[in-house]
Structure formats: structure tokens, C-alpha cells
Structure 1
Amino acid sequence: MGVPVGVRWEVGAFLGLTAATGLIDAVSYLKLGHTFVANMTGNVVFLGFAVAPGSGFRLGPPVVAVLGFVLGSLLGGRAARFLEARPRRWLGIAFGAQAGVLLLCGLLVGVGVLRDSGGTSYLLILALAGCFGLQNATVRHVAPKDMTTTVLTLTLTGLAADSVLGNGRAAPPYRRLGSIFAMLAGAAAGALLLQVTMAWVIVLAGVVVASAATIFLLAPAD
């Protein structure tokens, strides 16, 4: 279905969501036990690695991440079912809720309630993965082609396969390149900021997602 905002606003919002993914996956992989909260393919692979003794991978973090992601996806699916007839409200609520949880997580990390180790780290993984399950369940209904906001495999495939050296269609590469750059920039910014603070990386991701929610609620349709 179409997004009820102008194309430039739409693309900007989805690029912002992609950058937020890079920010939070930097947190989860570098600080929360080598797991991803947005990229479930990686977690399934990590579960396989964890079977081997001495691999350095633990079962707990990816299991919790997959669980949180599934729960978030279920909530996203229910929201789509009941609200997709009112797309502005639907997208605003879904991404607004995601932003709210991210900001709350950042606050709780900042005051020391949630930490990057120990039992509370699992609560943080669960909450962050739920956020990106919700994001994925929502984006799959509305995102332009190859702007999935969380994985770049199809984006890179399309960029190469549709190029002059591929099938010759020479599809405009701008959105695909934008998605790649947004993910890279988010991950790089997250990795750099993590040297100083984890809380503010999560808060920054929440602000970016909140901006996307505002775009879907208020941006003009042309």
C-alpha cells in the first residue's frame, strides 16, 4: 500500500529508520553479547556457532533477541490489521511506540537500571529486538522496493544485478545507495559514540525514529 506523504518525505523517513538500525545494531553487537536485535539472519547463524565449544558465542543473547523480535512483529501485525485503513495514524502510532521504547531504554541505561552485562542486559535485548520486530512488521507493508530498513542483502543484490554490468536495466541506484550509506553511517556513528556512552546512542536512535513517525503523521502528501 502507498504511504500518505510525498516521495521525498517518504524516502527520508525510511533512510532515517535504516540509520537507526545501524545505531542499535552497533549497540547490540558491540555491547550486548555479539547479537543483533534487527538482523535475525545473523542471530540464527550465531545460534549455530554457539553449539561449538569455545566459539565465543553464547546461546542466551540471540535466543532472547529472536524472542523479542517475534513478539514485536506480532504487535506490528496486529497494528497493521486494525489501523492500515488510516495509514497516517497507523504509521505514526507504530513508529511513535518504537521511538518511545527506545527513548525509555536509553533513559534506563543512562541511570543504571539497565546494563550491558548481567540479567538486565537480557531485558534490554528483549526490548530493543521488540522495537525492530515492530519496525519490520510495519515496513514490510509500506516500504519502497529494496528499502527494508534492516537488511541490505536484497539491496546490494539489486544494485549489482540491475546495473549495466548485470542485466542491463540500469535501474536508478539512488535509493539503494542511500540505504547502504544510511546503515553504514548509523553503524559508524554508533560504534564511535559507544566509546563514550551507550545510553545516548539508544536515545539518538529513538530521536531518529520519532522524526520518522512525525513525518508520517504530518508531512504533506506531495
Structure 2
Amino acid sequence: MSGCPEGERRRLLTVLLLVLTVLSGLVDAVSILSLGHVFVANMTGNLVFVSLGLAGAPEFSVVTSLVALGGFAVGILFCRAALSRLSPPVALVSAAALCETALLASATVLHALDGPRRVLVVVCAAAMGIQNAMAGRVGIAGLTTTVMTRTLVGLLGDTGTAAHDRRVAVRQALSVAALVCGALAGGLLVLLVTPPAALAAATGCALAVAAAATVAARR
């Protein structure tokens, strides 16, 4: 994609990261509703769940939350070791999304076969760790694909100030909307269809991103 203008490259990366933000909402809906009280994309929530479990709240599993944190860490370390040197950024997105596709497809099959919940948690969390590490290295302002706390602070606290880029504000707003839409779609699929259907939708998102990024990287 070396021949593409910088603006076109950033627009493509923005769209791809927004699709992955939808994916994050999908998988967290699955993990919360069908794998117990655990996040696979939002690790801040898991730290709170670990604390509640240690306090004795019976609905929160310390072990399951720690498994998610461990899987997420493995995904980050894998991206750092195996993918971080890829260039241009769209090639990194392509490779990371392909890894996510493989992991989420495995999770879809495993969930359909009633596989162990904690194995599902670690597989999905590893996929999200790869995604988060990749998004951080791509570095599109306002698009983390999972963590919305800082995004909301920027959107609500900085919008209208001289230092705030309107384009960043638009990306932040779209990011919040994408996560909400993904979680809503995931919840509906889990409750009205099956959890594997929601994971299949997430796999489809990852595959679409991988395909688009691969085509762009070869231009």
C-alpha cells in the first residue's frame, strides 16, 4: 500500500479498527453471558472481578478472571514477538486479524461442542490481546478497539477545546458506537440464537478485516 496517499491509508486503518471494535463487543457479550462473569477484551473489568472474587462474592471466579488476564497477556506477548516488526501498518493488521480469525474460529467450534469454559476464555482473551497490541502499534488516535474509558474522557472532556482534533472526536464517537453495537448484536445472538453464533459473527469480522488488509498490503 506504499503508493496510496497518507489520508487514504489512515481512512482504511480507521475502518478496519472500527470493525475490530465491533468484534470486541461481540466477544465480551459472549464471555459475560455464556462463560461466566468474565471479560475477554476488557481487562480492567477483570481486575475488578478478581477483587470481588477475593472479597467472597460467589458469582465471580478469581481463577477464571486470572485465566482471562493470562490469555490476554499471551496474546500481547505473541504480537510483540512475532508481529510487531511487520510493515507497513496494514500488514500488521492483516497478520493480527488472521491470527484472531484462527483463534475465534477455534473458539466457535469448541463452544459448539461444549468445550471447557476456561479454555474458551483463554483462547478468546489471547485473540483480544493480539488485537489490542496491534491497535496500539498502529496508533490511530481515538481507536483502541476495546478500552472506552479514556475514549469517553477525550470525547466529553476535550471536544471543543483548541487542542482537540475534530477528526479524533469523530473517531472516538464512532469507536464508542461500534463497541455498543457489537455488544448489542452479541447479546441478541447469544440470547436469541446461540453463543457460537455470536462467536461466528466475531470470526467473520476478523476474517473480513484480514482479507481487506491483505489486499491493501499487496497494492
TM-score normalised by L of structure 1 = 0.87
Secondary structure of 1:194's counterpart equals: helix
The match for 1:198 among 195, 198, 213 is 195
Q: Write the distance in 2 (CA, Å) between the matches of 1:148 and 1:139.
A: 6
2:96 matched to 1:91? no
Alignment partner, residue 16 of structure 2: 13
Q: Which 5+ residue runs of structure 1 have no aligned equivalent?
A: 115-119
Alignment partner, residue 65 of structure 1: 68
1:10-159 equivalences under 5 Å are 10-81=13-84, 83-85=85-87, 87-110=89-112, 112-114=113-115, 120-159=116-155
Check the 8 A contact 1:14/1:143 in 2, yes or no.
no
Q: Percent identity?
A: 32
Alpha-carbon shift at residue 87 of structure 1 (Å)? 4.1
Q: Rate the CA distance shift 1:146–1:86 in 2: closer, same or farther, 3 A.
A: closer
Give CA-to-partner distance per residue, 1:38-78, whole Å, 9 cap, x none. 11111111100011224521112101101101111110101
Q: Write the distance in 2 (CA, Å) between the matches of 1:124 and 1:57.
A: 17
Alignment partner, residue 175 of structure 1: 171
Q: Which residue identity lines up with residue 159 of structure 1 in the other structure?
A: L
Give CA-to-partner distance per residue, 1:112-163, whole Å, 9 cap, x none. 142xxxxx00000010001011111111100311200011111111111222
Secondary structure of 1:57's counterpart equals: coil
TM-score normalised by L of structure 2 = 0.88
Q: How many residues align?
A: 212
Check the 8 A contact 2:91/2:217 in 1, yes or no.
no
Q: Rate the CA distance shift 1:71–1:220 in 2: closer, same or farther, 3 A.
A: closer
Q: Which 5+ residue runs of structure 2 have no aligned equivalent?
A: none
Secondary structure of 2:37's counterpart equals: coil
Secondary structure of 2:147's counterpart equals: coil
Q: Write the distance in 1 (CA, Å) between the matches of 2:180 and 2:43.
A: 18
121-130 vs 29-38, greater mean Cα deviation: 29-38
Check the 8 A contact 1:79/1:90 in 2, yes or no.
no
